[in-house]
Amino acid sequence: MITRDPIIAEVRKARDEYARQFNYDLDAICADLRRKEQESGAVVVTLSKRTPISTALGINGTGKQPPAQT
């Protein structure tokens, strides 16, 4: 038996009402969120893209690729 969580139901209802304002258009929703972010004046941090360690160090972790198999 699945019980209905009233908090989850409330969050889903709010999400649906917000999305309905934009006809469920994700681009429009994101634009609205970006606008709200700008208007808030909050400091927004954008982290730089990092190279995964496995790629940076090569397969064997030494920074060099293993010798080619012949």
pLDDT at 51 over 80: no
pLDDT tens, position by position, 7-43? 999 999 999 999 999 999 999 999 999 999 999 988 8
Mean pLDDT score, 36-60: 76
Q: How confident is the model at residue 55 (pLDDT cuts 50, 70, 90)?
A: low
Residues 6+ apart with CB under 8 A from 22: 28, 29, 32
CB 22 within 8 A of CB 32: yes
pLDDT at 48 over 80: yes
CB 15 within 8 A of CB 22: no
pLDDT at 69 over 90: no
- Structure-model confidence comparison of residues 27 and 45, the more confident one: 27
The whole-angstrom separation of Cα 16 and Cα 8 is: 12
